[in-house]
A and B are shown apart, each in its own frame.
Chain A
Amino acid sequence: MTTQPFISINGLSVGYTSRAGKIIQVLRNVSLEISRGESVGLVGESGSGKSTLALAAMGYFKRGLRPLCGDVHFDSVDMLALDRDELQAIRGGQLALIPQNSGQSLTPTMRIGQQLTEALRLHSNLESGQFSDRVVELLTQVRLPDPAKLVSRYPHELSGGQQQRVAIAMALAGEPDALLLDEPTTGLDVTTQAHILELLRDLARDRNMAMLYVSHDLGAISRVCDRVVVMYAGEVVLTGSARQVLLAPRHPYAHGLLNSIPRLDQTRMPIALDGRPPMPGEAITGCAFADRCALADNKCLTEAPEMVGLSTGELVRCFKSDMIDRMPVSSRQPSRLNRSDDKTDDTALGLRDVAISYAKDNWLQTFLSPADGGPPATVDNIRISINKGETLGLVGESGSGKSTILKAIAGLISPKRGHIMLHDQTPLTPRVEDRPAVNLRQIQMIFQNPDDSLNPRHTVAQILAQPLQLYFGLSGDALHQASVSMLERVRLGAHYLDRLPSQLSGGEKQRIAIARAFAAEPEIVLCDEVTSALDVSVQAAVLDLLDELKTQQGTTYIFVSHDLAVVKAISDRVAVLYQGRLCEIGPAEAVYTAPFHPYTDVLLGAVLEPDPDVAPKLIADDVVELSPPARGCPFQRRCSRKLGAICDSEMPPARQLRAGHVINCHIPADEL
């Protein structure tokens, strides 16, 4: 490692002028250094300013933003002093960016080959005749299949993972010395994510590139980065090596953040961070984190701490960094461990051979595009029994059908075949419009995106009033009292009643959605990716809340998520789905430990823990399948343990392992 920093940012402040004329700072006095060949991770949640910082390293500021003070140097060149032409020579060449959402960052009207050729023409020394060969070479280096064909395709014809690889290839075209990566794996499936990260790791090592990896995902960062920088409210609060920051962080925020992430290897519940980060423009006195910090005292509230070097080499912005070990650590176990003892064998919900298909489009659509002759059902052969008071986790990647199943239970989609039984005796009327009121109240659903699941024109009072009026006929004083008590149960004050959703944060909105669901006093609550759209530290608070409500009410949950650690933290039993078919189901501990269904093996192997010492296991390729096979095992096309023709033609039998753990596979139980 060289000593001269390759990328050097000093005391940079970035902001914009609001309509009222105030200057709002998005980055405050940030300093960062990256040496050649070094990979630095930039961690922060929404509002931390990390994306702005990454773009600033290129001398780029979004419309309206401008540097207020400080400087940015790349390879000893002052980026803020260059004119546009000089900047363009460096960007995409020596210093390249890999954007967050490649699907939207690749020009939709240009073919892949054209976009790559453009990069080569701008930044490489090749002759025009050599471009096409080099393009194929680049695509092969990012491990894209069939590059010769890919060259003539348009971006929208590729999957998310493929698009991201193209973006990487485009960045590599200029033979960069440094890469900036802005959340490059957000929105991708777990297995795809793991593969892309391995690729990035290998590329960085092979080419000795400096990397600035921006992400909120600590697992991804731990896989790729040597050093980690933590940002909060537009400032850097902690810098250190990856092991230091991820295993023993010396700043209360980082400490809290790491504790709020559910881990596969831990059984205790993640601990939430109270409160929320300051919005850009909010006046801050003292330490920005003080109002949420357990260690804060008067000094923290009045004086803003400076970055201080510790003997171990880290830099911390905190007065109390030596007291980190005294931070309260909760050993609270999730309620389920107690629960599994006195769990009754009362079935709350049973799915019997359920198959669901999305309805055909309107007749004009059918007229304009000839019928396909019956594709395989989106979801098929679902046989699950859920006990009263238990939490069933449904995991799978995109296309697994997990949300579809929830919608069918809620009555928003009718199953093509099979029945959904309530209490294992009464079949649930398929369509919600036909259901009796008592059933409607018993089953409630919470949706993924809190921005979308609350009517933007209703106040919180109106939102909570809906179930209370509909199911219990409350009005007037009684309604008001009930609303306030619901708010208290989700730990929000009565003053929230007059607010509109646009005035609330993501976490608060989700709490209102939870309050709305629980106001009906349901028996079964369907949670559809309820934490996926939230910041990491807020997720823990929501999980905590769900757990608490369950303890109070004895509710049954069906919890859908793509995040395996979250599911493990909260579920009693877990079902693994692939392409709408059941692969494995059983008690959480059993499913998460060997023996595995081959797909579960792949899924768990790809999970990235925020631990630099743990490497993911990559088994299958990250091919995205668009539809399930017509016959046989759903995993037949990707399984590394495929037996042969039998996997293609016959549905795998259910193998019973211990105590309710079932794996659907042709491989006999003792060989798994």
Chain B
Amino acid sequence: MMSGNLHGSKASGSRAIGILKDLVSRPSGMIGLSLVVCHVILAIISPLIVPFDYKLQNSALMLSQPSSMHWLGADHLGRDVFSRTLMGGREALLVTGVATPLAVVWGGFIGILFGLVGGRLDEVLMRVVDAFLSLPWILKMLVLIVTFGTGIEVLIPTLAFFYGIPVIRIARAATHDVIARDFVWAAKARGHGRISIIWRELLPNVLDTLMVEGAMRWSWMLLAFSSLSFLGFGVSPPTPDWGLMISDARGFMSFAPWGVIGPVIALSSLIIGINLTADALAKALGIDRAQKAPM
């Protein structure tokens, strides 16, 4: 004999499995998820499997072509491009992997809160959010980075903060949709308290939207992170990072393009993987998504 609550967790557990199955049954989901999983595994185990130390400089090898020892050749400081490419996603995945959930949680929290509060406060907040969103993202982030430095202790909160702001709008809209539905009125009429309604009625229905949004946020954050690295405001050398590697190798592209191709394929495959997964996830959850431009 099980109580209602146990039924609840059993239901949500099997639901998660059901969604996963649906996701994988779609070709886009299958490909996307595989790409993402591969990258994550690679990021974790790469230090153990790389043939060369990523920092090792060897002036004799500068910009040498791909060979049997160095599969992707060497960069302008003589470091093995292949090893650096394998490890290039670590910092990016670490930073964005932490910052994305933070962004979704903080943006979702504020969005739901103000979606419920409504009234003047909500209107004022929306004006402020709109004003904020009208500033170019890079400007906002660079100002903070330049002031406080480029370590991950700055990058993570900065990315989380700025990428959480669009989540506010989405969470708010989803909240508005759900609280107009009859089952919320029914709960209110029964006399359930506000907290209970938020937790039991609202959240389970808003979470789906937030999950899909979270997946998309992750991919845009990766884009932002690699762009920042490219511009020189992200990771500091000698840490291997695809954005930084592309920036470094750019100048030598005309005669040594291999330095660029490796990181390009790696970065692109990860981002495409996340996007495909997000797409398939949305379909599996039955969510209709309009394509929006990234921040």
Give residues in A with beta carbon < 8 Å to B: 362-364, 410-412, 432-433, 435, 437, 440-441, 443-445, 447-449, 452-459, 461-462, 464-467, 469-470, 475-477, 479-480, 483, 497-498, 500, 513, 516, 520
Contacts and interface: CB of A to CB of B under 8 A. Distances in A.
Contacts of B200: 455, 458, 466
Given A362-B118, A440-B190, A470-B191, A465 B11 contact: no
B188 interface: yes
A477 B182 contact: no
A432 B204 contact: no
Given A453-B182, A459-B8, A470 B188 contact: no
B99 to A, nearest CB: 28
Interface in B105-123: 118-120, 122-123
B254 interface: no
B206 to A, nearest CB: 10
A411 B187 CA distance: 12
Nearest to B186: A453
B189 interface: yes
Interface in B41-100: none
B21 interface: no
B268 to A, nearest CB: 31
Interface string B1-43: 1111101100100000000000000000000000000000000
B190 A455 contact: no
Interface string B155-196: 000000000000000000000000001110111111110100
Given A412-B189, A466-B187, A520-B190, A457 B7 contact: no
B123 A364 contact: yes
A480 B189 contact: no
A452 B8 contact: no
List 10 tightest A-B contacts by C-beta distance, closest first: A465-B4, A440-B191, A457-B204, A452-B182, A453-B182, A461-B7, A410-B189, A455-B183, A447-B182, A364-B123
A432 B192 CA distance: 9
Given A475-B3, A477-B1, A432 B123 contact: no
A360 B225 CA distance: 46
Nearest to A453: B182
Contacts of B213: none
A412 B185 contact: yes
Interface in B127-170: none
Contact of B3 (A444, A448, A480, A498): A480
A476 to B, nearest CB: 5
B8 to A, nearest CB: 5
Contacts of A453: 182-183, 186
B119 A362 contact: yes
Nearest to B191: A440
A461 B205 CA distance: 18
A470 B192 contact: yes
Contact of B189 (A432, A449, A454, A483): A432
A320 B118 CA distance: 62
Contacts of B3: 465, 475-477, 479-480
A462 B8 contact: yes
Contacts of B186: 445, 447, 453, 513, 516
A470 B190 contact: yes
B189 A435 contact: no
B204 A461 contact: no
B183 A435 contact: no
Contacts of A462: 4, 7-8, 11
B201 interface: yes
A499 to B, nearest CB: 10
A8 to B, nearest CB: 41
A467 B192 CA distance: 9
Given A362-B118, A362-B120, A437 B191 contact: yes
A412 B7 CA distance: 30
B1 A476 contact: yes
30 contacts: A363-B123, A410-B189, A432-B188, A432-B191, A435-B191, A437-B191, A440-B191, A443-B189, A444-B189, A445-B186, A445-B189, A448-B182, A449-B182, A452-B183, A453-B182, A453-B183, A453-B186, A457-B205, A458-B8, A458-B200, A462-B4, A466-B187, A466-B192, A467-B190, A476-B3, A480-B2, A480-B3, A483-B4, A497-B7, A520-B190
A410 B3 CA distance: 29
B114 to A, nearest CB: 12
A7 to B, nearest CB: 38
B131 to A, nearest CB: 15
Contacts of A443: 189
A465 B7 CA distance: 10
A449 B123 CA distance: 31
A363 B126 CA distance: 13
Contacts of A470: 190-192
A138 to B, nearest CB: 38
Contacts of A435: 191
Nearest to A459: B11
A44 to B, nearest CB: 28
Contacts of B118: 362
